[in-house]
């Protein structure tokens, strides 16, 4: 959702289009494959300057200190995250879909907290925590907040318009 907001607002997504929209994410994925190898190769980051880039929380600690970043850290109810992942795994007939939620959610929580703590200690990184549910409830407010955090000048109306609460029900959000 945030990647669509940024792209619509005027900050083009740095994405390769390899993962097409589907029933689990009809708005698209906005991913760039080499991000998965960020721990081993970050040489391509210079090319991404001025664009939005999706980096999962497990990889943020591999962002090199040689650059400055503004990170919009998407926070979401972890029960909903688990349920969303479970639905995708079930659709793929992956046996991991049968895992118990408790240990997985506890691991998510610990990893997210560690990522946030790491980000908060980096002088070259500014962080805007953004609650997924809050954006769904107040897209205009969040579009303005994000625009201000990124220096202003974004098309806040275009950003707010792409937030579609009805899509959230597809992946299990209350």
- Answer whether residue 16 shows pLDDT above 70: yes
Q: Rounded to two decimals, what is the model's pTM? A: 0.87
Contacts of 87 (CB under 8 A, 6+ apart): 24, 171, 172
| pLDDT tens by residue, 129-160 | 999 999 999 999 999 999 999 999 999 999 99
pLDDT at 135: 96
- What is the pLDDT confidence band of residue 168, given thresholds at 50, 70 and 90? low
Task: Report the distance separating Cα 45 and Cα 115, nearest Å.
Answer: 20
Q: Which helix (H) or strand (E) holds 125?
A: strand 125-131
Task: Report the distance separating Cα 127 and Cα 110, nearest Å.
Answer: 19
Token pair, residue 57, equals: 């929380």
């Amino acid at each position: 959702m945030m990647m669509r907001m940024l792209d619509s607002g005027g900050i083009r997504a740095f994405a390769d289009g390899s993962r097409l929209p589907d029933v689990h994410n009809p708005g698209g994925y906005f991913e760039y494959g080499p991000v998965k190898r960020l721990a081993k190769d970050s040489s391509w980051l210079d090319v991404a300057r001025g664009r939005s880039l999706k980096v999962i929380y497990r990889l943020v600690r591999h962002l090199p200190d040689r650059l400055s970043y503004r990170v919009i850290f998407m926070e979401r109810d972890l029960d909903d995250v688990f349920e969303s992942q479970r639905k995708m795994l079930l659709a793929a007939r992956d046996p991991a879909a049968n895992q118990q939620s408790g240990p997985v959610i506890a691991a998510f929580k610990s990893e997210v907290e560690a990522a946030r703590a790491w980000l908060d200690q980096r002088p070259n990184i500014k962080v805007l925590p953004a609650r997924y549910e809050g954006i769904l409830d107040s897209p205009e407010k969040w579009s303005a907040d994000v625009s201000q955090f990124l220096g202003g000048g974004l098309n806040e109306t275009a950003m707010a318009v792409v937030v579609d609460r009805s899509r959230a029900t597809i992946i299990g959000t209350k």
